[in-house]
Structure 1
Amino acid sequence: MKRLILALSLCLLALPAWSQTTRYITDQTEITLRTGPTTGHRILRMMKPGTPVRVVESGQDGWLLVETRDGLQGWVLERHLMDTPSARDQLAAVTKRLERTQQELAELKQSLAAGNDQLSAAQARIKELTTANERMSRQLEEAARGLTLANENRELKKQIVDLQREIESLQNETLRLRDRSRRDWFVTGALVVFGGFLTGIIVTRIRWRRQSSWSSL
């Protein structure tokens, strides 16, 4: 989960630098990637809407030399490029990230449920052993008052010591499970808040870019 939070944070920090070198095919229609800066040059490829390209150099009459992710270079008209990914692509990316976050939360809840079951079992065992310890302590006291069975007395003492050790071990395990449960719930809450915050930022940017795009038409 820590790696997921770090990765999302780095993605947000990297967006400005990435946008300086990368442009995106308009989401209105497919465009042509040509061998030269005119419509008379041969078509190398049809570029789908939203495809990212790296600008290599600027030409004349509004043409740009760009490079695709697979290394193919060609010329396109600058008016067919956008500075940011299309709203459709951004929404799909956010949806995918949210799905991964929800899956992480589901797995964490299962882990917490298992931890709670272990905690309940440990507490029940402690209660059972405490009762047995008290019973055997009474038996030891009775043996000390009048019994001459030294072997039985020593065996009872040994059993009491063993029970006390097991109780101490289970108490330590109970404390560990409680700490883990509190920590995991805290991380779950933080992840939900971060996911909501991230979604709010990206959806707000998408709406702003759409309004900006419409106002420029």
Structure 2
Amino acid sequence: MKKISLLGCTLSIFTLSLINVPAIAADKYVSDVIYIPVRSDKAPQASILQQGVASGTKLSFIREETGSDNNLWSLVTTPDGTEGWVRSQNLTDKPTAALQLAALSGSSRDVVGLQTENTQLKSQLEKIQQEHQQLLADTEDMRQAATTAFNLEEEHQRMLKENQLLQTNADVLKAENEKLKDNDNFNQWVYGGGLIFGGVLLSFILQAFGRRKRRSEWR
């Protein structure tokens, strides 16, 4: 019997401790378009701790109990930290329609803002793509210009080499021409000298022949 009594006492104490332990806080909202008081106890005659809590106000819900008027009362904490009791019938688990509409309006504004931002981003993307295409075109032009410049440099070097070769050939031809001139002058001098010598020699021969002829006539 003593063991049973001890066990019963233990269970009773455990049960009472569970009842007195506050439940995990949750969010509740003041329903409808009303203003409710927060009271010091779960009774209509209890003193008011905070007056005129407006509808849509988010309250931190602690637990719910039956009050002296046989109605359900909720222990809550207001946004400014006041802890007290309000009638459960004035609370709702979801935000009021006005808050939902405001949130929806805010969401709509967010959607409009996102659409506007999306349009701007598309425009910026298109501009960047155009700039990219222009850069590709400019790069191709620069590459072609570089290739042309390289080809022009090669052509310039080739023409320089050809010019040097032509200059060398011109110098050789000039030297040969000078040599031919010297040879021609020498030949002309030899030919002229030969003519003079032949003329002198012929003159001597004619004179000698004339003398012989006169001697023959004298005889």
Give the TM-score, by structure 1 length. Answer: 0.51
Q: Distance in 2 between matches of 1:51 and 1:116?
A: 47
Percentage of pairs with the same residue: 21
Partner of 2:66: 59
Partner of 1:80: 90
Q: Distance in 2 between matches of 1:140 and 1:71?
A: 82
CA offsets 1:131-171 (integer angstroms, 9 cap, x no match)? 34224423433442453589xxxxxxxxxxxxxxxxxxxxx
Q: Distance in 2 between matches of 1:91 and 1:142?
A: 75
Partner of 1:25: 30
Structure 1 runs not aligned, ≥5 long = 1-19, 151-217
Q: 1:146 to 1:70 in 2, by over 3 A?
A: same
Partner of 1:99: 109
Q: Distance in 2 between matches of 1:66 and 1:52?
A: 10
Write the letter of the residue equivalent to 1:128: D
Give the TM-score, by structure 2 length. Answer: 0.51
Does residue 50 of the first structure (1) align with residue 60 of the second (2)?
no
Partner of 1:90: 100
CA contact (8 A) 2:33 2:54 kept: no
Aligned to 2:56, the other structure's residue is in SS state: coil
Write the letter of the residue equivalent to 1:44: L
Does residue 124 of the first structure (1) align with residue 134 of the second (2)?
yes
Give the deviation of 1:92 after TM superposition.
Answer: 0.8
CA contact (8 A) 2:28 2:92 kept: yes
Give the deviation of 1:89 after TM superposition.
Answer: 0.8
Q: 1:67 to 1:59 in 2, by over 3 A?
A: farther
Partner of 2:172: none
Write the letter of the residue equivalent to 2:54: K
Q: Distance in 2 between matches of 1:112 and 1:42?
A: 62
Q: Distance in 1 between matches of 2:97 and 2:104?
A: 10
Aligned to 1:147, the other structure's residue is in SS state: helix
Aligned to 1:70, the other structure's residue is in SS state: coil
1:1-217, aligned counterparts within 5 Å? 21-45=26-50, 46-57=52-63, 58-60=65-67, 61-62=70-71, 63-145=73-155, 147-148=157-158
Q: 1:141 to 1:55 in 2, by over 3 A?
A: closer
| More RCO (CA 8 Å, sep 6+) | 1
Q: 1:141 to 1:72 in 2, by over 3 A?
A: same
Would you say how many aligned residue pairs link Structure 1 and Structure 2? 131
Write the letter of the residue equivalent to 1:52: K
Partner of 1:194: none
Q: Please provide the CA RMSD for this pair.
A: 2.6
Q: Distance in 2 between matches of 1:55 and 1:117?
A: 54
